[in-house]
Amino acid sequence: MKISEIQALLEADIVCGEEMLDKEVYSACGSDMMSDVLAYVKDQAVLLTGLVNPQVVRTAEMMDMICIVFVRSKCPTEEMISLARESGMVLLKTRKRMYEACGKLYACGLCGNGEAK
């Protein structure tokens, strides 16, 4: 699934990284606990979260993720946007809640935890 499709499905606003919307992604995860992302997530390209602090971008970068979607209308800080730009990462924000956003992406073919759909 292209990041542009994620943006459309979630009716998300592009915060930064619009030049990367044609990148293809194959998996995602949703979590507000970065310790869980570090401990349990592998091979995920998209992170959905409601947590807004610089550690989110740093964690996503460490895990080689290329897109973060902020749910519940959460807005990343300028520091986060700057870190994401430096890392070549797309930031999106949506009004949808975590449950709905993850479910919508999963139903449209984006998998989690390396599973094939």
The enclosing domain of 28 has a CATH number of 3.40.1390.20
Backbone phi, psi, residue 83, to 5°:
-60, -40
Q: Is residue 116 predicted with pLDDT exceeding 80?
A: no
Classify each residue of 71-92 as buried b or exposed e, where b means 16 or more C-beta atoms within 10 Å of its C-beta.
Answer: beebebeeebbebbeeeebbbb
45 close to 106: Cβ distance less than 8 angstroms = no
**Is pLDDT larger for residue 31 or for residue 40?**
31
Enter the tokens of residue 36. Answer: 């869980």
Q: Using CB atoms within 10 Å of the CB of residue 3, give its burial: 0 to 12 exposed, 13 to 18 middle, 19+ buried.
A: buried
Q: What angle (nearest 5°) sits at the alpha carbon of residue 17, between those of residues 15 and 18? A: 85
Residue 30 confidence (pLDDT) above 60: yes
Place 14 in a pLDDT band, splitting at 50, 70 and 90. Answer: very high
Q: Are 50 and 70 a contacting pair, CB within 8 Å?
A: yes
What was the pLDDT predicted at 115? 59
Write out pLDDT tens, residues 60-107.
999 999 999 999 999 999 999 999 999 999 999 999 999 999 999 999
**Confidence grade of residue 47 (pLDDT, cut at 50, 70, 90):** very high
The structure tokens listed for 95 are 């009004």
* 116 domain-assigned: no
Q: How many domains does the chain have?
A: 1
What pLDDT is attached to residue 5?
Answer: 97
Q: Supply the range of the domain harboring residue 74.
A: 3-107
Q: Which two tokens stand for residue 88?
A: 């070549």
Query: Is 89 contained in some domain?
Result: yes
Residue 33 lies inside a defined structural domain of this protein: yes
Residue 23 phi/psi, 5-degree rounding, is -65, 140
- Would residue 114 count as lying in a domain? no
Average pLDDT, the chain: 92
In a domain, 113, yes or no: no
- What's the pLDDT band for 113 if we cut at 50, 70, 90? low
Query: Does residue 82 lie in a domain region?
Result: yes
